[in-house]
Each structure stands twice: as structure tokens, then as C-alpha cells.
Structure 1
Amino acid sequence: MSDLPVVVVGGGPQGLAAGAYLLERGLTPLVLEAGPSPAHAVSQWAHVRLFSGWNELVDPAAARLLEPTGWTAPTEGYPTGGEWIESYLAPLASALGDVVRVGARVTGVSRKGRDRLVDAGRDEQPFTVHVAYADGREERIDARAVIDASGTWTAPNPAGADGLPALGERAAVEAGLVTYLPPTPEQVEQFAGKHVAVVGAGHSAMTAVIQLGALAEAHPGTRISWVVRRGGTGISFGGGAADELPQRGALGLGAKAAVDKGFVELVTGFRTDRITVADGRSVLTDENGVELAPADYVVVLTGFRPDLSFLSEMRLELDATLQAPVRIAAEVDPNLHSCGDVRATGAADLAHPEKDLYLVGMKSYGRAPTFLAMTGYEQVRSVTAALAGDHEAAARVELVLPDTGVCGGSGAFDDPEAASGGCCGAPASPQIVELTVGAR
């Protein structure tokens, strides 16, 4: 199979970096991007500013590929998604050339002539990757290995607290009253004088809360509700000044300030059960029958989950809770993990019973929310070394991840008294919370 390409599913930051590493190793990459352009998922949040600086967003192998073209690595500041594409990801895709195909959606991965049940000669057979192109064509591509860097962007979590869409949620989406995308600056301006509910407690939700809090400050009469499932406030605001990524910590402080100033109403312990559409507005109801005031718009930013549908013929070894490779699950599980002590992961951690199949990037974390671009770059460096037979390089760890400065465990989801170190903890019933920003 040495003449066959390594198929990389997804042409985002990690997929393109994988292409660069494979070329550097003398292997043939084929990067398949479902969207109409490289890094299409990033383009969906082009207006959002990253909390990682440029030095954490450019992969070393990609930089080595780009430098002969006259490209210069940006070194200062925190780019938006659009700037990340313009100054790095688009030039990288151009440098990779024909090995990147856009409008190429992978619909299935299997072993040639073998379904999931067949053992005989399985590892000796090439992968067969089924691709549907935007122009209607279909193709099967034989591959020596598959690196799935397709991310999770296309599979957002719903508003429903049980992991399924709330009753009425689909109808609210169809009515244009619920979105799973962070609002653009243009959309934010359209919300002036209206009631907007933000559902979710992660960094994307904090970004939206800061934007909408500024809108409420500038336009009296605008009402912003921030709806989180957990009872308690500490986890909602991140690590602040203790975060080793300052801009990530600043998100929490900015969201906290918006609440403290009264521009954002924080509702905790609210676990959405139903969304009712009436008179062009949405009413969120929780599991106990508590209703929020009718909202003109609901922004659901509750994280993402991996799409495993096209890997149904593959033999995966995934954690039952996170849907992440079992050897990294305990490191990133929000039920267990705390205080930012996630370690870098490599090929050995990402391997599956299906030889030469790897899930990398955000998808490798399953439903966990703690992924950084630099984590994915280290993953693809290690994976491509393993595929090239350089097991010493594959085993080497070349990255230490920054501390978040927060306790991320969810052990206090229903039991505030179980919170350790004061990270979580508050009554589990829905509350409107008023906060004061402490000295720092």
C-alpha cells in the first residue's frame, strides 16, 4: 500500500497541518474538505477573535512549507477567524496545492472488500474512502491510512438539557428564532431593544455574552439572559487572571463584568426542557416548569459532538461517555478533569483497533470542551511520524499545554457541597444571580 495516499478528512487547521507533515515525511497526502473552501468551518466564525496568539496558531511544519513562498509568519496579536484564514490557512492550502480538494464530503470509510465483521487479512487491505462531491459525483479512494481531522463544528449540541433537542427546539430553529452560531456584529446590532437568551457556559457563550452586554449598555431596553445548566457561578467565568492564556482568562472576566454591571442577567440551574414559539418569540421552560421571559432570539452555544456516522464500518475504541479515544478520555473528561492539567496526546493515545486510523483535532476530544489548536498540531506531528515508521519521534512529547486556572470538574452538577476548592457550588434550582467583581 506504500503507493497509496494518506487520506486526511477535513481541510481545517489540523487537516492542513497533517498535509504539511505528510509531505515533509515523504508520504502522499490527500486532504478532503467538505466545504467550498479550505477551513470552511473557521469561516463560519470569521468575526470571532481567538484567545490563542499567533505563536500558538501556526504549525511548525506548515511554516516550513510556507517559508520558501515568501510567506512571513505573523507574530503579534490575537487574530479573528477570518484573519487566521487570510494570513495563514489559505496560504497553507495554496502551498499544499492539488493535494487539497474542496467540496469533497467523506460519506464512509471501510476496508476494501471487508466490512466491520471480517477479520481475515483486514490490516493488509487498504482503506476505501467514499466521497461525494459538490457537483454530484461520487468516488471511492483507496488509502494506506486515514487521519480524521473533520472536527465537530457541523454537530452542535442542542439546547435540551438531556443532550437531545428540547421539545419544540426544531420548530424554533425552522422559525429562525434559534441559532447555534455565534452572532456576527451585524446581527448583534439588530438585537438592539430586544430580548436575547444565550444558552451555554463555555468560551463561545462568554464571547456572545460580552458582545451582547456591550449592546445592552449602548441601547437601554435591550435585555440579555445568560442561561446555564449548572447551579453556581464559578465555573461560568473561567480562570480569569490565573489562566495561562491571558485572552482566554479575559473572556471570563469580561462576561463576569457584564453580569456585575447589570447588562446581562445570569440564570443558573436552568435545564431546558421545552421551547415554545408564540407570537414570533421563544419561551424557554426548564425541567421544573420554570419559564423565562419570551425571547426574540435564542443563541445556543452548548458545545459540539463528533459525527461518527461515516466511521460506522471502522473498529473504534471510544470512551463510553465522551466518545473520545479511550486512552485520552480520562485526561479531558469534564466530569473528572480539573485545573488545566491536560497533557499533550500523540499517536499511541489516538490509535484504535483499526490499524492506521486516527482521530485528531477537536474530534479526538469527543464531547470535551478543552481543545486548543496547538494540541492538534502536536497530534498530527506524532501521528504522521508513526505512519512514516519513526516511532521514536511519534512517542516524543513536544508540547506542554497551558493551565486554564479553573476547576473544570462537574461533580457538583447536582451536589453543591461536593465542589472542591470552591470551583463550583450553588443551589441547583434556577436563580437570577447578582455578582460583584472582586479585587484582583
Structure 2
Amino acid sequence: MSEGLLDSFWNSLQRTEARLEAEASEAAQGVYRTIYGYKGRVIRLRAALADSGPIARQTVARKLEGISLDAVWDILFTTVRDMALYYGGSVVLGTAVGAGLGSLAGGVGAIPGAVVGAEAGSLLGEWVLIFLGLKMLAEGLVDTIPQALRLYVEGFRIAWGPVEQDRPDAPYSADYYHSEDMAAHRFADGHVLMIIAILIALVAYLLRGKSEEALMQAVRKSERLGTKFADWLAENKGKLLEDERLQPKIRARAAGEKEPEANQAARSPSPQQRAATKAPAGKVAASTVTKSVGKNTVTWTLDANGNPISASGTLKQAFSGAARSSAEVQAQADAAAAGVAGDQGGHLVGHRFVLDQGSQNMFPQEGNFNMSAFKTLENDYARYTAKGYQVDFVHTLGDFDPVTGRPGSLSVQYEVTDANGNLVDTFADKFLNQPGQTYTRRAF
């Protein structure tokens, strides 16, 4: 995006803000200025995008340790920043930012923001490739792009605040305190996914034996990347091809094939089902580990790196208030660091039931989900066992990001029985690994 076109985009946003301000009620303006101090939408958005750069750079450096992007960081960041601005603004504001958006994105045209499912992955991936000027790349983008662009929309919405359909009387987003910082982290998470996905797509192209000369020529001609990035790619090609973190993942489902509905598998787990727990699509089960702690027995299914894929077992007691070792605390920190901003080191099976189990029981879990819905579910487990009931459960991680490995969902199935084997309760649901998840208390 040239500086002139970028300025035109910002000017369009400024005009949209001015219109919203003119239409706002006097009361809404007064609340914001009195409580929060005046700061316009465009100012917040500019600040959030600027602040997202250092956050993303630090995260990418950690995730791709050993591969220096210093020489091309400005190129990559400018590219994904413009992508976040254009896509986020188009989806959140729609036609409010003007009719010339296609030209601002180098002729990309309409945003396929309304499509869903597998089709969304293909269309959004194609949109990004055209944005980059690299139509030849295909593999390595389809799974990750929708998630990255979704983060861009969240970041834009947080920084920009309510639009007409949300709150027509509040143009200053008074309900988004600290919105700049929140938005910056959402943008940064999207940048990390997008940058790593671009590198994976480049590696995938080279691994398929395609013409390296054709790729380099396309990169040099790319308005976004250009000659400097092509030179960096040629210099670092060997290192990129050998790095396991950049190897393209094989898609678990064919394009267009729908993912099974969560409630299709929402059946109470039998002991046979628990014993036959398999890895979800996209993950390969490498080993299982079974541990007994007090009256509880749990089996973890792990991938080749020792990360949990699922856990199943029987719970009969809880060890409330049990201390955690320094090794357990460190394992939690490591799990959180493997995720995105806002993640915590979550226990796949509550610590109060299995005590210290280290990394085999940890995954990057969104903090709000961990401390609200999932904690309430664990509290139910504890209440049931306190009544002398038995809880048989299966917890399965799924929707793994092909770049980071972060699980996007957690499916839960459990059944509660009394001492005579009579069914007391049964539950099954699929939670997304993001804020806003709900679970209503069932044990009293």
C-alpha cells in the first residue's frame, strides 16, 4: 500500500469518525470526556497498530529463535499492519470507509468476510496471497489465515469502539477502557500468526520442488515484499527449509469437508471409549501415560513432543488446597508462553485431582476461559466427588493451529454415577479456547 493510498484510507476513517461524533448525543460525548478524557477513534487505532509491532516482534523472535528477521522485519510488519488495517476496517465498518478499498489493497477487491467453514479458509487464503502479490503460494495458509484475520477484526473493533449497529449514541468507545493496549495485543497475535504462515507457505512451495527462480522473481515483483526480502529469502533458504517449526502441516480434512458438529460426538464416555481415546484430526498420538493419584486414575494421550492431546479417567476425590512445586509452576509458565497474549498455563485435568504432573497436563489456555467456565466445571467435579459420586470424563483438545500448535477448542464429556452405578448426571459440550465461554453449575 503506497503512502498516498494509506493516507487516503486514514482520511476516510477520520471522516467516518467525524460523522459519528456529529451524530452522537451530547450525553454520550460528556460521559467519555468527563470519565475517560477525550481521545478519538483514529488516534487509538493508530496507537494500537504502532504498539503491536514491538509486541509481535518479540513473540516471533521467541517462537523462531535461531532465525533472524531483523533485516526484513520492517517489510513484514508494514505488510501485516496494512493487512490488519484494511481487513479489520472493511469488516467492522463495511462501506463506511469508502468505496475505494479495492485499490487500497492493490486491487484485491471485495473482502470475503462473510464466508465460513472450509470455504472461508480457501477464500481468505487466496485473498491474502493476492494482497502479497504471490498467487503461486497455496499450502500453509488456509488453516491459519482465518484465525489471524479474526484477530485483526477483534483488534480493530476494540480500538475503534462501537459502530452504529452496536451503540449509535457512543462514538468514543467509552466502554473500552485501556482499549489501545487490548487492541495492540490482538493485532500482535494476528501478526505473529500471519508472519509465520507466510514463511511456512514459502517453505512449502520450495519443498514441493517448484521453481526457486520463479518464486524469487515473484517475491522481487511483490509490491509488499520486494527485492530486499527476496535477497533475505535466498540467503536464509537452507535454514528455513531445515527448520521443523516451518514445515507445512498436512491438512486433516479435504477442502470443503465440514467439521463434525460438536453434538454428534456428545455422548457419555464409556470405559471402552476412554481406553480407545484417539488423537483428533491434525494431531498424531505418539504415547499414553497413566497415573493414579489417591483414588483417581487418569490417562493422557500425548503427541511426539510430549504435549497433551487428550485426557480421560475416573475421579473419586479432590485434594483441595494442594501446593504446587516450583517445577509445576514453571511448566505452567512454559505452557502460557507457547500460546498467545492472554493465555495461561491451563491444566487439562485440574491440579486438585492429579497434583503435579508437569507439561503432560498443560496447554496454553485463554485466561478468562480457564478462570471462569473451566474452573466452574472443575468445581462441579469436586462437588460430585465430595458427595461420594464417581466422575468418568474425557477432555479432548482440538482445532490445533497448524503454525503454533495452540489448541482452538476443548471438548468435554463426563458422566456421574453413584456407589450403585446409577447415573446421576451426564454432560457433553465443546468449548472454544477464547473468552466468553460459559458453563452453568450443575452440582449443588
Scaled to the shorter chain, the TM-score interval is under 0.3
Higher gyration radius (CA): 2
Higher helix share: 2
What is the TM-score normalised by the length of structure 1? 0.24
Q: Which has the higher contact order (CA 8 A, sep 6+)?
A: 1
